[in-house]
Copies of this chain bind each other. A is one copy, B any other.
Amino acid sequence: QGTRDHPPAQAALRDRLLSAVVSCFKRHGAAAIDTPVLELREMLIGKYGEGTKLIYELKDQGGELLALRYDLTVPFARYLAMNKITNIKRYHIAKVYRRDNPAMTRGRYREFYQCDFDIAGQFDPMIPDAECLKIVHEILSDLQLGDFLIKVNDRRILNGVFAVCGVPESKFITACSTVDKLDKMPWEEVRSEMVGEKGLSPEAADRIGEYVQLHGGLDLIERLLQDPKLSQNKLAKEGLGDMKLLFEYLTLFGITGKISFDLSLARGLDYYTGVIFEAVLLQQENEHVEEPVSVGSVAGGGRYGGLVGMFDPKGRKVPCVGVSIGIERIFSILERRLEASGEKLRTTETQVLVATPQKHLLAARLKLISELWDAGIKAEMLYRKDPKLLKQLQYCENTGIPLAAIVGEQELADGVVKLRDVATREEVRM
């Protein structure tokens, strides 16, 4: 349940999609790493907030207690700490596992791919963070998914907001996860969850509401830097200063047109400590709607300063910032689009079918195809002693093989091969 086989057509589409992502990651100088699907159970516990209960555990068959990785970020942090690496730019594309309620049509599975790019190391502020946003921009543009928006916020700003609104520090994380629902439910409902389930005071909730419904650009950052309450909060001030710097860099990258500083963005995971961001596709079907409606997140990430330190015996921290591309959701969009277009993706790359027009020529086919393979040419033949020529040509048409190399009795006698263009039926002897 919640998993699926990928038949050849899906695997081919996925390959195409993943290579677009990989080539962007490589364009930005990342190296690949790989970590096991299995992690020690104790490494994963306490890293994912409410997600912890969705971790798949292995049966105790003796030996270590194991679990399946829940994401690629925690194993990355574990890897850095174990190997005392303080400086790396890596990508990792692999499957992760969550015992979640699957929603397959929306691209939500229990086994799914994550495509992560992270920069670890102590650097000058916002330079790697800006690159992560540039990467999201490049990938979403490359894949031609339609219009999109990248929402940006900072955990320090959010925590500052909570502080100046009178929320006790112990409730920051839980308040965060409620604010995060603002893209799916109206403020009224979020407010009532805050007051009801989360136990905030109605006044605090109202004050929070005034902030978290704001979104904009540099102008909004400037305004909040002047905000009498917020500007008194150390964390918020730091966050806003960095946000201003980030926007400067994004202006140089020429991508601010698709970036929105959005105070409602909170992101669920516990480990973020600075900039956070999330990219959403904007609905285009209905052009009469005044404000474009989001159809869901396709990328997200942020800065996590404390995670590596949790795995280091001496608590040594390695600041990291990273981005995860929501490949499954993008895949289901591209799949629907491909279906709608009626286009048929080839599932193989075969260039030529080796065919014979008469009986008793299997040996000739085997000899020729062997020569082609040895020359690096992608070649197939039917696994029959005496297939009909029509059947062989139909196989080309069905699977998209562009050429047939035909050896008949005459060609054998003349020491030639007849090369046929399957689509045009043109033939040359060579």
Contacts and interface: CB of A to CB of B under 8 A. Distances in A.
A5 interface: yes
This chain's copy number in the assembly:
2
B32 A8 contact: yes
Contacts of A8: 31-33, 88, 90
Given A8-B32, A58-B59, A373 B134 contact: yes
A108 interface: no
A378 B28 CA distance: 6
B1 A64 contact: yes
A32 B15 contact: yes
B37 A111 contact: yes
A219 interface: no
Given A28-B380, A134-B373, 5 more contacts: A8-B31, A27-B373, A30-B348, A38-B110, A123-B383
Contacts of A95: 37
A123 B347 contact: no
Return the 9 tightest CB-CB contacts between A and B, nearest first. Answer: A123-B383, A8-B31, A29-B380, A3-B36, A6-B34, A31-B347, A11-B32, A252-B366, A57-B59
A349 interface: yes
A273 interface: no
Listed residue (A3, A29, A121) with the most chain B CB atoms within 10 angstroms of its CB: A29
Given A57-B61, A249-B366, A349 B26 contact: yes
A211 interface: no
A413 to B, nearest CB: 19
A377 interface: yes
Interface of A: 1, 3-8, 10-12, 14-15, 26-38, 56-61, 63-64, 68, 79, 82-83, 88, 90, 95, 97, 99, 110-111, 119, 121, 123-124, 127-128, 130-131, 134, 138, 249, 252-254, 347-350, 362-363, 366-367, 370, 373-374, 376-380, 383-385
B59 A254 contact: no
Contact of A56 (B33, B58, B88): B58
B37 A12 contact: no
Nearest to A32: B11
Contact of A121 (B56, B349, B377, B383): B383
Given A8-B33, A36-B4, A121-B383, A252 B348 contact: no
Contacts of A111: 36-38
Contacts of A123: 383-384
Nearest to A349: B26
Contacts of A110: 38
Contacts of A378: 26-29
Nearest to A4: B36
A217 to B, nearest CB: 18
Contacts of A385: 124, 127
Nearest to A14: B34
A309 to B, nearest CB: 19
19 contacts: A5-B35, A5-B36, A6-B34, A11-B33, A11-B34, A15-B32, A29-B348, A29-B350, A37-B68, A37-B111, A56-B59, A63-B99, A123-B384, A127-B385, A130-B366, A134-B370, A249-B366, A252-B366, A253-B366
A33 to B, nearest CB: 5
A400 B36 CA distance: 28
A61 B350 contact: no
A109 to B, nearest CB: 9
A90 B63 CA distance: 36
A379 B348 contact: no
Contacts of A36: 3-5, 111
B254 A348 contact: no
Given A3-B38, A11-B31, A57 B57 contact: no
Contacts of A33: 5-8, 11
A34 B59 contact: no
A373 B28 contact: yes
A134 B371 CA distance: 12
Given A83-B7, A124-B383, A363 B252 contact: yes
